[in-house]
Copies of this chain bind each other. A is one copy, B any other.
Amino acid sequence: MPTLYHHPVSAASRFIRLVFREYAIEAELLEERPWEQRRDFLALNPAATLPVYVDESMHAICGAGVIAEYIDETCGALKRDRRLLGDNVLERAEERRLMDWFLLKMDNDVTRHLARERILKTIMSKEHGGGAPDSKALRMARNNIKQHLRYLDWLAGSRNWLAGDKMSYADLAAAGAVSVLDYIGEIKWDEAPQARQWYQRIKSRPSFRPLLADRIRNLPPVSHYADLDF
């Protein structure tokens, strides 16, 4: 059976898990701790990033963007109305821009810092960087999140879905990042009513259920995390 190496705290992994569920692609989920630099994992993906998809023939496809294109080419392009990339080149360009926005820019500005300081450092051993959070990194990320939440709110308010009329990779990429931040209560939903409505819609999809069941050891989510009507 194909395998998806992922981590519940990785926004990019969550994005691909949503894509797989939307397309009903079966894959065994294996939790990987990339900071441990496991030798067999580095052999699959020398960049040591998540997620990595290993298909039936043992080909490793590395990174969320690369997996998303691979899945579109092998599966999505046949789905007609349910395809998660747009039908024309400009729609696809906008969807890809927003995938990069949420999985690269927002990750660099916000997500990976809050995930690391507030979640991963409680899991990591001392030699891998575990310990108390760095208050400077927290402050920087919490400052940056405001601009990202405003942008998300603007996108959600001015379009039906984030990249246009149809739900696309852009929504699932954004949802992957937002769900990590929402787990630890870092999203101030009161300040972004239109983003909240968008998230309620996407959170209600059956594909989202496994993400809402994710639990991190010794760190329960905020009370509204799995609540569809928060």
Chain A interface residues (CB < 8 Å from chain B): 46-47, 49, 59, 61-63, 65-66, 69-70, 73-74, 89-90, 92-93, 96-97, 100-101, 104-105, 151
Chain A residues touching B, majority SS? helix
* Nearest-Cβ distance from residue A86 to partner chain B, whole angstroms: 11
* Nearest-Cβ distance from residue A51 to partner chain B, whole angstroms: 13
Residues in chain B near residue A61, CB distance under 8 A: 93, 97
Residues in chain B near residue A101, CB distance under 8 A: 47
Q: B89 to A73, Cβ gap below 8 A?
A: yes
The answer to whether residues A93 and B70 also contact, given A46-B151, A47-B100 and a CB cut-off of 8 A, is yes
Q: A90 to B59, Cβ gap below 8 A?
A: yes
Q: A70 to B89, Cβ gap below 8 A?
A: yes
Q: A97 to B59, Cβ gap below 8 A?
A: no
Greatest chain B CB density within 10 A among A62, A74, A92 is at: A62
Residues in chain B near residue A90, CB distance under 8 A: 59
The answer to whether residues A66 and B96 also contact, given A90-B59, A151-B46 and a CB cut-off of 8 A, is yes
User: Could you tell me the distance between the alpha carbons of A9 and B59 in the complex, rounded to whole angstroms?
Assistant: 35
* Nearest-Cβ distance from residue A55 to partner chain B, whole angstroms: 9
Q: B69 to A93, Cβ gap below 8 A?
A: yes
Q: A66 to B100, Cβ gap below 8 A?
A: yes
Q: A92 to B104, Cβ gap below 8 A?
A: no
User: Could you tell me the distance between the alpha carbons of A69 and B169 in the complex, rounded to whole angstroms?
Assistant: 15
User: Could you tell me the distance between the alpha carbons of A90 and B67 in the complex, rounded to whole angstroms?
Assistant: 11
19 contacts between A and B (CB under 8 A): A46-B151, A47-B100, A47-B101, A47-B105, A59-B93, A61-B93, A61-B97, A62-B93, A62-B97, A63-B97, A65-B65, A65-B96, A66-B93, A66-B96, A69-B69, A69-B96, A70-B93, A73-B89, A104-B104
The answer to whether residues A65 and B100 also contact, given A47-B105, A74-B89, A105-B47 and a CB cut-off of 8 A, is yes
User: Could you tell me the distance between the alpha carbons of A101 and B48 in the complex, rounded to whole angstroms?
Assistant: 11
